[in-house]
Amino acid sequence: MEKRRLGHTDLMVTKICLGTMTFGEQNTEAEGHQQLDLALDRGVNFIDTAELYSIPPKAETQGRTELYIGNWMQARASRDKVILATKVVGRTADTWFRGDRPSRLVRADITDAIDKSLKRLQTDYVDLYQIHFPDRLVQWGANPSRVRIPGVGRAADETPISETLAVFDELVKAGKIRHYGLSNESTWGLMKFAAEAEKGVGPRPVSIQNAYNFLNRNFEVNLAEACEREEVALLAYSPLAQGYLTGKYDEGAMPAGSRKQLFDRLQRYETPGAAEAIKAYNQLAREFGMEPALFASAFVTHSAIVTSNIIGATTMEQLKVALASADVVWTPEMQKAVDKLHQKFGNPCP
């Protein structure tokens, strides 16, 4: 499988990354290991997880995904075959991450998080350590189509980015992480990290993990230029818009065992105008002779601004379709047709 450089590092990651947030909730450990085996067999060398996972987040499953991956790496002796990425939570009132208090991006919480992740993953370092979401009070995803009224606001105890970056500098020097990245971050946040790095506070970020799909191309507005100039890789998540771009929810369908049926947490893709756009993109896929899931994944996998497409699945068949997107020949005609729909519908699901 084709590999691409991860930002300004010497790491070469495959254009598809295996996302693992279902391991420990919708997928058993054995099923998770099957997915990891298949991905590795198909040439994928990039695995993404987080201390928050499984999804949906809750105390009894927090950290379970990392534990499953650690067991797999030990059983397969595969640590040196993969580039491993995990994440630390940002500001949250949930106390189960730190055990007795809410979590923020301060030294005590970040060091606690990485030590626990390394123990669960059964490794002494991670290749990419990402901030899952900011310490700042920003809208989830950090790139809304319009600002929240009455405004974004600030927390009285907001952690300065320079303080957070200094901790990541310590982790790099200690050998616990090789590089760090951002997630659900804005252009301002990315550039502030870069500016603090230029001052000598710590290293530059190498990646940003934000949503990117037919229904949300907000990344292209400002972040794409910032990332290109700062050599920051886009790791795109939610290529299927939480399943809506597979066609399985078309016409109000509610498949048994789907995330919507189990958890009803898909509101990000249930905004005004979304249903019409989803129907149009799924129909376009069929006009090109592809199932919607393959078409939507291929758009992300072959995008010039995407370094790696973070795919996720609950069944082996779903995983095979996502992996097959690497082999699709994405044509100018496909891109033109997608852009035409985007001009009409915009970004209904930021």
Catalytic residues: 53
Q: Other C-beta atoms within 10 Å of 32: how many?
A: 23
Question: Rounded to whole angstroms, how far apart are CA atoms 341 and 73?
Answer: 43
8 A C-beta contact, residue 168 and residue 106: no
Question: In degrees to the nearest 10, what's the CA dihedral of 232, 179, 138, 246?
Answer: 70
8 A C-beta contact, residue 179 and residue 209: no
C-alpha distances (whole Å) from 107 to each of 49, 98, 102, 167, 170 are 21, 12, 14, 6, 10
C-alpha distances (whole Å) from 42 to each of 1, 16, 27, 80, 306 are 7, 10, 20, 17, 20
Question: Rounded to whole angstroms, how far apart are CA atoms 22 and 59?
Answer: 15
| Residues facing residue 129 across a β-bridge | 86, 180
Alpha-helical (H) ranges within 83-204 are 107-121, 161-173, 187-198
E strand intervals along the chain: 3-5, 12-14, 16-19, 46-48, 83-88, 126-131, 177-183, 207-211, 233-237, 308-311
